Amino acid sequence: MQVVSVVIVVIYTMAFIFGFIGVLMMGLQLYKTNILLMTATTFINLLLVHSLFLLTIPFRLVYYTQNNIWTFGYTFCEVVSGMIHIHMYMSFIFYVVILGIRYFSFFKENDNIEFNRKLHAAVASIIVWILIIAVIFPNFYIVYGTSTSYNETKCFQFQKDLEKEEMRTINYAITGFILTIVCILLTLQISIIIKVVKNIEGSVFTHQEFWVQMKSLVFILIMIVCFCPSLAFRLFYLKYTEECNGYNEILWSVSALSCVDLLLFSLKPFCHSVSVNCWF
């Protein structure tokens, strides 16, 4: 295998193994958690997003370990290829929702924001998924892979579509929007942490409120480490698609490492108690 393929295989393997373990561990915790909590409901949706994406990783591993030869059909290639984009965008949406709920709790001084009934939680989740499926999925299926110059034995190489002006514009807009939101969230979170630290007497490490805010910071750090590199590089990649496709694939594989978040959250590293609601 080429060096690029080896790097990609290693990263995807790590994402698959630790992501799968995280899904199982978080699933067990959510089973014991009050699902009426809005953050718990959002975690369930995040778990579902990660699970769907993890199912596609083995096909990526087969492709890169077989000298970049795709044998599963061109349509399925589009599905698998689009899933890494869909996974990142949907994970980003649910991260923002979780942080939004946490910020609302902080400013309203209300630790228990929850639905009145389980039916309400289910309906809210269904509405979100319908909106996402109606907007994101069709766009990826219709737009990506439409060029007639693609070789059906190759996959994850849809850079020809990015030569279209409308596709460049959409990618610039999405990239700029996400990077801006991440910067705003980081600034807001740092401001909250500073405010909390100022109001704490003695060691901040002994106060639960400080660790609550550090948990929120973890979400933002995951976005910065896993999502921002591929997004920032995309601004350069859109101009030099053919020359930088290998580097682009490596950075997209890094975005898959966000699946490890559930393992991190299930370990509850910042908790001072054994409550199953520690992260929620």
Q: Is residue 279 part of a domain?
A: no
10 within a domain of the structure (yes/no): yes
Per-residue pLDDT of the chain (280 residues; tens, 9 = 90+): 578 889 999 999 999 999 999 999 888 888 777 777 888 888 989 999 999 999 999 999 999 998 888 888 888 888 888 889 889 999 999 999 999 988 988 887 766 677 767 777 788 888 888 877 777 666 665 555 555 556 678 787 766 667 777 778 888 888 999 999 999 999 999 999 999 888 887 777 777 888 888 888 999 999 999 999 999 888 888 777 766 777 888 999 999 999 998 888 877 554 544 344 555 5
Whether the Cβ atoms of residue 158 and residue 150 lie closer than 8 Å to each other: yes
Q: Is 205 a domain residue?
A: yes
| Max intra-chain CA distance, the chain | 66
**CATH of residue 229:** 1.20.1070.10
- Report DSSP state, residue 227: I
Residues in the chain, total: 280
| Cα→Cα distances 184→30, 181, 191, Å | 29, 5, 11
Reported pTM? 0.88
Question: Which residues, including other chains, have CB under 8 Å from residue 52's CB and lie 6 or more apart?
Answer: 83, 87
Q: Residue 223: how many CB atoms within 10 A of its CB?
A: 26
Evaluate whether residue 274 is within a structural domain: no
- Straight-line distance from the first to the last Cα atom of the chain, in angstroms, rounded to the nearest whole number: 43
DSSP 37: B
Q: What is the distance between the alpha carbons of residues 265 and 40, in angstroms, rounded to a whole number?
A: 12
Residue 276 in any domain: the answer is no
For 14, residues 6+ apart whose C-beta sits below 8 A from its C-beta are: 257, 260
Tell me: the pLDDT tens digits for 17-49? 999 999 998 888 887 777 778 888 889 899 999
In a domain, 275, yes or no: no
SS3 readout for 58-114: HHHHHHHHCCCCCCCCHHHHHHHHHHHHHHHHHHHHHHHHHHHHHHHHHHHCCCCCE
> From CA 182, how far away is CA 224, in angstroms rounded?
7
**Consecutive H or E run containing 135:** helix 118-143
Contacting residues for 29 by C-beta, under 8 A, at least 6 apart: 266, 276
How far, in whole angstroms, is CA 245 from its chain's centroid?
21
Is residue 234 assigned to a domain? yes
pLDDT of residue 270: 45
The reported pLDDT for the residue numbered 272 is 44
DSSP assigned state of 279: T
Q: Can you give the residue range of the structural domain that contains 206? A: 3-267
Domain count within the chain: 1
Helix crossing, 57-65 with 3-31: angle to 10°?
A: 160
Q: Output the CA torsion 97→98→103→104 (10° steps).
A: 70
pLDDT at residue 278, rounded to an integer: 56
* Cα 166 to Cα 187: distance, rounded to the nearest angstrom: 32
Q: Is residue 277 part of a domain?
A: no
